[in-house]
Amino acid sequence: MLGKLIFLFLNENRISGQVPQQIGNLKNLKLLDLSRNELTGQIPHTIWNLTQLTTLNLFYNILTGSIPPEIGNLTALQTLDISINELSGELPHTLSQLESLQTFILSTNHFSSMIPKTFGRNMSLISVSFSDNNFSGWLPPGLCNNFLLEYFTADGNNFTGSLPECLKNCSRLTRVGVQGNKLTGDISSALGVHPNLDYINLGRNQFSGELSQNWWDYKELTNFRMDGNRISGGLPAQIRRLKNLKVLTLSSNKLTGSIPAELSYLTSMSRLNLSGNRLDGDIPSGLGKLTDLEVLDLSNNLLTGNIPTEVGHSARLAVLNLSNNILSGEIPSELGNLTSLQIYLDISHNALSGTIPRDLGNLILLEALDLSHNALSGQIPPTLSQMLSLLSVDVSYNNLTGPIPAGPAFRKSGSRPFLGNPGLCGDAEGLPSCNPINPGERSTEHPKNTKRHKNLVIPIVVPIAGLLVIIIFVVGTMIFLRTTKGSREEFVSTKRSKSFESLAWEREGKFTFNDIVKGTDNFNEMYCIGKGEFGIIYKAMLQTGQVVAVKQLNVSNLSDILEISHRSFLNEIQILTDVRHKNIVKLYGFYSKKGCIYLVYDFVERGSLGKVLHKDAEGRLLDWATRIKIIQGVANAIAYLHHDCSPSIVHQDISIDNVMLDERNTARLSGFGKASLLNSDSSNGIVATGSYGYKAPELAYAMKVIEKCDVYSFGVVVLEVIMGRHPGELVSSISSSEYQDQKLKDILDQRLQAPTDQLAEEVVFVVRLALACTRTDPESRPTMFVIAHELSTHIQAFLPEPLDAITMKKLTNF
C-alpha cells in the first residue's frame, strides 16, 4: 500500500529521532517534506534511491553528516531545501546531474570547501542560497547559464575571486546578497542590466573600482549595500534616478569628492550611511528634505562647514552621527526639533564652537549624547536635565564651565564624560562642588509635569536570510468596493488570465487554484477552521500532501473599502507577493472567482499566540525567555513591513490572535485582512480599522492610518504576553494613582515564577517598551525601526532596585 505513496508531508510535527532507512521503500514518492521537526542523525542513504522525487524539504532540523554522490540519482528533483541543519562536508560533483533543479537552498549549515564548478551549468536555477556556511574558492561560473536566476545569496562564507561573469546576463535578478566574504574584482563591470533588482548587498568584501553607471538604472532598487569594500571615486548626480531607494549603505570605503545634493531627490530614503570614507565639502542642506530618514551617518569623513539647520527637518531621525569630521560653527538649535532621536546623537571630534543649545533638552527620547572633543564653551544648559531617557553622555574636552545638569546620566556617570573641562562642577564623582553662594546657577530641578518618555532596549536577532512572504488580505479586496458590476466582472476576467495566475503562484506555490478546490472538496464546510469579519478560513490538504490555509473573502460584505484602479491593484499584489520575512506567515497567492476573493497562505499548525497563551496548561509552557523571543519576532515582522517594504505596509490589525506560533514558538505575523499599502497615492484615504482592545485611541477621531497605529497595537500585545491576559484598563489608566502605585510583579503572569537576574532585567525593559508604545500621543511613540534596532542590540542592565519594589510609576517616570 505505502509503496504507491506519491506525497509524504510531515512537516511541523515535532518529530524527533532519525529518519528511518525504510523510507527508501517508497519508490513512487514525488514529494517528501520533513521540514520543521527535530530530526537528528544523517540523511538515510536510501533517500537517494527515490528517483521520482521532485521536491525534497528537510530544512529546519538537526541533521548531520554530508551529502553523498548518490544525490545525482535524483534527476527529476526540482526543489531541494536542506537549510538550517548541522550538515557538513563538501558538495558532490554529481549535483550537476540534477538538470531539472530550480530551487537549491542549503543556507545555515557547516558545508565547506569549494562548490563544484559544474554546478548550475545545465540547470534551470531560479533560487539559490549558499549563505552562512564555510564555503571557499570561487562561486560557480554557471549559476545563470539559463538566464532564469532570480534569487541568489551566498553571504557569510569565505568565497574568493570575482562575481560570476554570467550574473551580468541574469536580467530576472531581484535579489543578490554576497556580503561577508573575501570577493575581489572591479565592481564597476561586475553586474549588467537588471530591471527587476530590488535588493543588492555586496558588503564586507574586497571589491574595488568605482560605482557603475549601470546601477543608476535599477529603477526598482530599494536596498543598496556595499559597505566595507575598497570602492573609490565619487557619488554621481545620477543617483537621483533611484527613486525607490530606501537604504543606501556605502560606509568604510574609499569614496572621495562631495556628497551630491541630488540625494535630496530620494524622498523614500530611511537609512543613509556614508561613514568611513574620504568625502569632503559641506553637508548638503537638501538632506533635510528626506522626511522619512531614520538613520543618517556621515561620520569619519573630511566634511567641513556648518551643520545645516535643515537637518532639523528630518523629523523621523532616530540616529544622527556626524562625528570625526572637520565641521565648524555652532550646533544649530534646530537639532532640538529632532524629537524622534533615540539611539544616539554624536557630533564629537569636530571643531564646533559656541554654546550647547538649550533646545537639545527637547530630545526626551535620546539615550546617548556625545559632544566631546570640540571647542564648545559656556554652561551646559539646565534644560538637558529634561532628557530623562539619557543613559550615556560625553562632553569631555571642550571649554565648558559651571554646574552640570541634575539628570541621572550626568550625576551617575563619573568624571570621565567631563574631562578636559576644568570649569565644570557639580554632583558627580570626580567633580568639584559648585559654589554654594550661587545656588541659583543650579536650577536644574525636574519640572513638576515632566513625564518620562523612555523607550526600551531588549535583545533580538534580526537576521537577514530572507525568503518567506506574505501579507495582503484586504489590499486584495480593495479594488472591489464601490465598483460597478461591469468593472467588477472585467477585473475578475483579468485575474483569471494566465498571466495573473502566474503572478500569484509562480514563485513558491507549486499548485493551482484547482488543487485548492479539490483539497477542500469545493470549499466544503467540513474543511472550515474559522470564520471572521471578512470571510471564512479553510484548511486545504493538497494532493502533494502540503497543507495551506485559504481565506475566502466575499466581495458583497466589503462595501466599506475604497475603490482602487485595476492597474494600481495589480501593482500592489505584485509588491505584496514579494514580501519575505521569517516572522511573517507566507502568502502563496491570490485568485478571484464568482464574486469571491481567495487568499492562500501557509498553514501554521499550532495556531495563534492567543489560543496558546490563554490556555492554562499551554500558557505555563511559555516561560519568560520564550515570551521575550516571541516579542522580538513580532517586532521584527512589523519593522520589516514599515521600513523594508516599498511602499510601506501598515498591518492595521496587530493583535494576540494574529500572531501565530510554529512548533519552535517562533512568532509569525498573520491576519492581513485589513492591511494597506502606505504611499503618497493611497495613505490619505485608508479606512481606519483594527481589533477592539488593540486599536490606537486616535482612530476614534482620525481616519488616516499611520504606522504609529501598529506601534500602539504592538505595545498592547507585548503587555498581554507579559501579563498572560489582556491589559484592559491598564493602558488607558496608567497615569491614575491606582495603577501608578501598582507593583510590576503583581501584573506579571502569575502562572510563572517571577523572573530573576538577566531575565528580570529583560522583562522590566519590555514592559517599559510597551508603555512607550501605548502613549496617547502618536508622535511620542517610537517607530518600529527604532524598536527593532534596540532589540537587536545587547540589552542594557536596568534594574534600579529589586523587582518586588518596582512600581508602574517608576517605569513610566524614569
Binding residues for ATP: 551
Residue 149 near residue 177, CB atoms below 8 Å: no
Rounded CA separation 361/228 (Å): 35
User: At a CB cut-off of 8 Å and minimum separation 6, what does 448 contact?
Assistant: none
Residue 365 near residue 380, CB atoms below 8 Å: no
Does 647 sit behind a cis peptide bond, omega within 30 degrees of 0 on the bond before it? yes
Rounded CA separation 718/712 (Å): 10
Q: How does strand 676-678 pair with strand 648-650?
A: antiparallel
Taking the alpha carbons of 398, 400, 404, 405 in that order, is the dihedral positive or negative? negative
Rounded CA separation 347/352 (Å): 9
Instruction: Characterise 795 by phi-psi region: left (phi > 0), alpha (psi -120 to 50), beta (else).
Output: beta
Least Cα distance to 31 among 542, 585, 516, 514 occurs for: 542
Give the residues across from 114 on adjacent strands: 136
**661 sits in which H/E element:** strand 659-661
- Give 3-state DSSP helix, strand, coil % of the chain, rounded to 5: 30, 20, 50
Residue 468 near residue 669, CB atoms below 8 Å: no
Task: Indicate the DSSP class of residue 12.
Answer: S
Q: Among all residues, which ones are annotated catalytic? A: 653
The distance in angstroms from the start CA to the end CA of the chain is 68
Amino acid identity, position 756: T
**Main-chain phi, psi angles of 346, to 5 degrees:** -130, 110
Amino acid identity, position 406: A
Q: How does strand 158-159 pair with strand 134-137?
A: parallel
Rounded CA separation 458/790 (Å): 6
Give the residues across from 55 on adjacent strands: 31, 79
| Cα→Cα distances 204→110, 165, 275, 501, 715, Å | 20, 20, 14, 39, 36
Residue 150 near residue 124, CB atoms below 8 Å: no
